[in-house]
Amino acid sequence: MSNDPSSVSELRKPWNRTAEAYADLFQGSVTQAIEPVLNAAGVVAGSRVLDVATGPGIIAAAALERGATPKGIDSAEKMVDVARARHPGAEFDVADAAKLPFDDGSFDAAVIGFVLFMMAEPHTALREAHRVLVPGGKVACTVWDWPVPGFDLFYSRMEKYAPEEPMLGGDPPLFGVSDHDVLRNALSQAEFVDPTVERLPMIWELASADHLFDALATLRDFSGLSETALRAFRADVVSAVGEYQQGGRYFIPFPALLLSGRK
């Protein structure tokens, strides 16, 4: 799919549309995974790190704080613009994860944060990550540990109000996959050795129930939904989020998996 320019363009559109909103509203759900993924990839001062599908650049920025030299790439131009604006100390470029513009053995570590399951060609992306690593270099990826209660609060209700709304990015082969054997096999097929899968029991703490709706709504286009339906949809989600309220704040489970392997 990535070899078809028109298909790649279609996949980029929603991420370009949501870049700023994603960075402002949704990235808080994934920040707890940053340190574990950098640790699993063996990122230390001096490491040359490739952050694949960097999005707003938060993993690359954290690698920079460790004294590493990160390079973030993303196929969505607007995401790269956001990353550059928010993290000027790191380097970001537009590139396709399935066809990396780097020589073999260019990096000591590669990270893919919460994007592998959204990729049209995840196995190709893993093979490309393997290619650009030095011998002994490590890859670390995060994916969601489905089912994810935080997502279910929103998407189970979306079926009622917007049943025809397509999934962002099409129908990727690893979407919804949390089987450890399947994920380890994906790493093995890309020639990584010692593939491991570790659970990350993450909780997203929010100040308001509306924040969850707003964050997940950025990943969809509800322009065809009436104002009445959208208000009802929001109210339904906000009511359900109340189950996770403690002391005026909301603690919503977003469990994840950390995949890692070595070249």
Confidence of residue 256 (pLDDT cuts 50, 70, 90): very high
Strand order in the sheet with 91-94: 91-94, 69-74, 48-52, 107-113, 133-144, 256-262, 193-200
Q: Which percentage of the chain shows pLDDT scores above 70?
A: 91
| Whether the Cβ atoms of residue 143 and residue 257 lie closer than 8 Å to each other | yes
Q: Which of 13-17, 172-176, 219-223, 254-258 has the lowest mean pLDDT?
A: 13-17
| Whether the Cβ atoms of residue 98 and residue 124 lie closer than 8 Å to each other | yes
Mean pLDDT in residue range 225-237: 96
pLDDT of amino acid 219: 79
**Which is more confident, 8 or 27?**
27
pLDDT digits (tens, 9 = 90+) for 59-89: 999 999 999 999 999 999 999 999 999 999 9
pLDDT of amino acid 233: 97
Domain limits, the chain: 5-150+169-205+253-262
pLDDT of amino acid 17: 73
pLDDT of amino acid 4: 38
Mean pLDDT in residue range 246-257: 97
Classified as helix, coil or strand, 245 is strand
Backbone angles phi, psi at 139, to 5 degrees: -115, 145
Cα distance between residue 187 and residue 195, in whole Å:
6
Cα distance between residue 20 and residue 81, in whole Å:
9
Cα distance between residue 139 and residue 40, in whole Å:
8
Mean pLDDT for all residues in the chain: 91
Residue 260 has pLDDT above 90, yes or no: yes
Residue 2 has pLDDT above 90, yes or no: no
Residue 6 CA: distances (Å) to CA of 15, 44, 218: 15, 39, 23
Q: Which percentage of the chain shows pLDDT scores above 90?
A: 78
pLDDT digits (tens, 9 = 90+) for 147-196: 999 999 999 999 899 876 555 555 678 888 999 999 999 999 999 999 99
pLDDT digits (tens, 9 = 90+) for 17-60: 777 877 888 888 999 999 999 999 999 999 999 999 999 999 99
Contacts of 175 (CB under 8 A, 6+ apart): 117, 118, 167
- 10 Å CB burial of residue 129 (0-12, 13-18, 19+) is buried
pLDDT of amino acid 176: 86
Comparing CA positions, the residue from 244, 42, 53 lying closest to residue 134 is 42
- 10 Å CB burial of residue 113 (0-12, 13-18, 19+) is buried
Cα distance between residue 148 and residue 15, in whole Å:
21
Domain with residues 5-150+169-205+253-262, CATH architecture:
3-Layer(aba) Sandwich (3.40)
Q: What is the distance of C-alpha 261 from the center of its chain? A: 18
pLDDT of amino acid 259: 98
**Which is more confident, 49 or 6?**
49
Here the tokens at position 239 are 């009511």
Cα distance between residue 76 and residue 259, in whole Å:
24
Here the tokens at position 126 are 């893993």
